[in-house]
Amino acid sequence: QKEVEQNSGPLSVPEGAIASLNCTYSDRVSQSFFWYRQYSGKSPELIMSIYSNGDKEDGRFTAQLNKASQYVSLLIRDSQPSDSATYLCAVNRVTGGGNKLTFGTGTQLKVEL
């Protein structure tokens, strides 16, 4: 089992719809979870972080965390063509050498006109 799993997609949604991106993780002691957006050929950009169970909203983005189910998701409301990108889920892991992030392989989102 991979440490962080995401559906690679592509996930296609029409403009104005809600895009739902999902991520599961294997390490039960993980404490912090991050969503990064990566445009083709560019570096990842942090868009959301979440640490507690429940929902966290920031503009059109909502992150949802369920630690019991080891599941974190990202909802994008009113999807725009500019949201077309790969979304990377990253999960903190605590090791003897300090805190490190493990990344999923990303879900490609396509927002169609």
Q: Number of helices (H) and strands (E) in the chain: give both, helices first.
A: 0, 11
Least CB distance from residue 15 to another protein, whole Å? 26
Taking CB under 8 A as the criterion, which residues in 19-58 touch another protein? 31-32, 34, 42-46, 49, 51
- Please name which of 42, 5, 27 lies closest in space to residue 100, comparing C-alpha atoms: 27
**Count of residues near another protein by CB under 8 A:** 25
- Give the CB-side neighbour count of residue 87, counting CA atoms within 13 A: 28
Contacting another protein (CB under 8 A), which of 25, 104, 109, 111? Answer: 104
The CA-based dihedral angle spanning residues 67, 71, 36, 62, taken in that order and rounded to the nearest 10 degrees: -80
| Nearer to another protein (CB atom), residue 20 or residue 49 | 49
Contacting another protein (CB under 8 A), which of 63, 76, 88, 111? Answer: 88
48 close to 96: Cβ distance less than 8 angstroms: no
Least CB distance from residue 74 to another protein, whole Å? 15
Place of tokens 């592509």: 10
List contacts with another protein (CB under 8 A). Answer: 4, 8, 31-32, 34, 42-46, 49, 51, 88, 90, 92, 94, 97-101, 103-106
